[in-house]
Amino acid sequence: METYNLAAITHKLHDSGLTLFTTTTLKIILAVKKESSFFNLLARLAQGRVLVRLERGKYALAGENISDFALANFLYSFSYIALKLALNFYGILSQFPYEITSVTAKKTKRKFLFGKAFSYVHVKETLFWGYEKRNGFLITVPEKGTFKSIVFGS
């Protein structure tokens, strides 16, 4: 049975520069070869409040300030922040929507985490464009968000 130093592993996770992890990413960072040892280690890291389990196969580094927008992108890849929420972000809409809304070329979905609602609206792949990375998350460009709101009233 392999033993692991949790302090050294915690240091390794912080040194990675990441705050959100998939199990695949964690396997690479932690370099644990045996599958059962890896999952036991994940359980110990979660129990020791080093990692927070977000959902199956997805974790966050405990104690880190992670934006809701970055979390929305991470929970359902590939998606980007859009619609009214993006308009609010750019100062075009003064009201802040209650849901963190993103668009995706995948199936429409809704997730709840930490008392917040994350919704993902399906769009055709041909319409899945016009986004950029800002502050560590993907968001629609202001021109696309403004145009859609004028034409479609969203």
Same domain, 112 and 132: yes
The answer to whether position 143 is within a domain reads: yes
Same domain, 51 and 85: no
Q: What is the mean pLDDT of residues 52-62?
A: 97
Higher pLDDT, 143 or 150: 143
The answer to whether position 91 is within a domain reads: yes
Q: What percent of the chain has pLDDT over 70?
A: 92
pLDDT in tens, 12-49: 999 999 999 999 999 999 998 899 999 999 999 999 99
The answer to whether position 34 is within a domain reads: yes
pLDDT at residue 97 in the model: 81
The answer to whether position 1 is within a domain reads: no
Same domain, 51 and 84: no
Same domain, 74 and 100: yes
- Sequence-ordered list of residues with C-beta below 8 angstroms from that of 96, at least 6 positions apart, any chain: 85, 88
Reading phi first (left if > 0) and then psi (alpha if -120 to 50, else beta), residue 63 is in left
- Give the structural domain span for 43: 6-61
3-state secondary structure string across 17-64: CCCEEEHHHHHHHHCCCCHHHHHHHHHHHHHCCCEEEEECCEEEECCC
Question: Can you tell me the distance from the alpha carbon of 92 to that of 113, in angstroms, rounded to the nearest whole number?
Answer: 27
Please tell me the total count of domains within the chain. 2
Same domain, 23 and 76: no
pLDDT at residue 2 in the model: 61
Q: Which pTM value belongs to this model? A: 0.86
pLDDT in tens, 81-140: 998 899 889 888 888 888 999 999 999 999 999 999 999 999 999 989 999 999 999 999
Question: Can you tell me the distance from the alpha carbon of 122 to that of 96, in angstroms, rounded to the nearest whole number?
Answer: 22
Beta strand 20-22 pairing with 131-134? unpaired
Same domain, 56 and 73: no
